[in-house]
Homo-oligomer: A and B are copies of this chain.
Amino acid sequence: MKKLLLLFLLVPCIGFCQNQDAVFIKKMSDDILINGKAYEWLHHLTKKIGNRLTASSPFYKAIDWGKATLQVAGADNVILQECTIPHWVRGNNDEVAVTYFNSKNQNIQLHAIALGNSLAGKVKAAVICLNNFEELEKRKNEIKGKIVFFNYAFNQTYVETSTAYGDAGKYRYTGASRAAKYGAVGCLVRSLSGSTDNLPHTGAMKYNDSFPKIPAVALGLQDADKLCKMCSNNKVVVAMNTHGKFLKDTTAYNVIGELKGNENADELITIGGHLDSWDVGEGAHDDGAGIVQTMEVLRVLKAMNYHPKHTIRFVLFANEENGLRGGVKYADEAIAKKEKHLFALETDGGGFSPRGFSFKMSDEQLKKVQSWLSLLQPYGTHKLEAGGGGADIGPLAGDILKTPIAELLPDSQRYFDIHHTNNDVFETVNRRELLLGAVNMAALIYLIDKYGL
């Protein structure tokens, strides 16, 4: 009988609360779409500061700007959380050169860029073109003294381009050492992209210390096709000249803005993106968008005069691209301080039209989140699915803290056209798409703060 009574009391409340929530979320959406600052902030970050490779001078400028802008956006306080970061430099960019010699022994330049974390090297050798690691194993006896070219294509049949990226990523990340194992002197990789242009895409690679650290370079897609075709007809000689090196580790900061909780202040909700970028383009989508969307959520909660139950942290992570030291530091400190983390959300898939979120949490928690679908649908969310969580917040979800995490899922079609290239600039970001991402993030954070997980 009591249960029945409770049910009667609850049923109208569910309807009423959902309606209250719908009204509040609409108010946030209207405010963001009209008064949102994310686009102007992104303009400053991309045009006044520019790209922000970890440990570079603009990266430190971005930290100062990030601190000041979190204050403007309304943080109760802003903390700089010190962390040690790697200091890789590409060397003289203009001198990165990959050329092949045509039948007249003329030297033809290819569109190429050294991979992040790769080291200096000057080699000239015959090229062997391989479609995948299986071919490498089969032809391991032909590798010695050659430049290995992994021409593994981005799989266009995957509807989500992030799946194709995940699939092809191992060639960029581990290809050089796997080739060096069999005596290769250099490594070329087809850019991780399905674009129609010829821009090369950089991105992280990692050497296996057991093998020689050979130069590793990505090629533009048209040049990759051209080189592959030539290799199938002739013996092709390529010259590579790269200048990457590591300087001594140095110090930087995660920038953390806080909005204090008024009920469970010691329970934390984290929302963030990464402040660093590669040293090409302007890091506009990757991950300037995530940074300014994070700040926009803070701005709108303050504009709504919303007092969260839990403490919400708005985090600009250091060093996602080539080390993840910021994310690791954030989790290490959480563990050391025995912090309670209710939930963490990252946005690092570009500032494109939002389509939902991907979650790493228990089935029960996911079911709860999915019960909010109708509240998020008006703003473009249709996916609330199991799977993700961003790189920086991954360590929070580790065995010790087991924090439930999630990532925003923007439309993925355009992202890998420009990802890690000179084309990742402000002009490719659409104001409304960027702001709608923030709307969905703000709504999710509001619901999790209000109803828990």
Contacts and interface: CB of A to CB of B under 8 A. Distances in A.
Contacts of A243: none
A14 interface: no
Contact of A33 (B33, B34, B157, B196): B157
A267 interface: no
Contacts of A30: 157
A433 B411 CA distance: 10
**Copies per complex of this chain:** 2
A156 B433 contact: no
A159 B379 contact: yes
Given A30-B157, A39-B196, 12 more contacts: A29-B157, A33-B157, A34-B156, A159-B379, A159-B380, A159-B436, A353-B353, A353-B411, A353-B413, A382-B382, A411-B411, A413-B433
Which 8 A-B pairs have CB atoms at the shortest separation, nearest pair first?
A382-B382, A30-B157, A413-B432, A33-B156, A413-B433, A353-B411, A353-B413, A414-B430
Contacts of A431: 196
A30 B155 CA distance: 10
Contacts of A414: 430, 432-433
Nearest to A416: B432
Interface string A378-393: 1110110000000000
A276 interface: no
Interface string A275-315: 00000000000000000000000000000000000000000
A161 B411 contact: no
A326 interface: no
Contact of A378 (B33, B39, B159, B413): B159
14 contacts: A29-B157, A33-B156, A33-B157, A34-B156, A159-B378, A159-B380, A161-B432, A196-B431, A353-B353, A413-B430, A413-B432, A413-B436, A414-B430, A417-B430
Contacts of A215: none
Interface string A345-386: 000000001000000000000000000000000111011000
A384 B433 CA distance: 22
Nearest to A153: B34
A272 interface: no
A194 interface: yes
A432 B196 CA distance: 10
Given A159-B378, A411-B411, A413-B353, A432 B194 contact: yes
Contacts of A196: 39, 431
Nearest to A381: B382
Interface in A401-434: 411, 413-414, 417, 430-433
Nearest to A383: B382
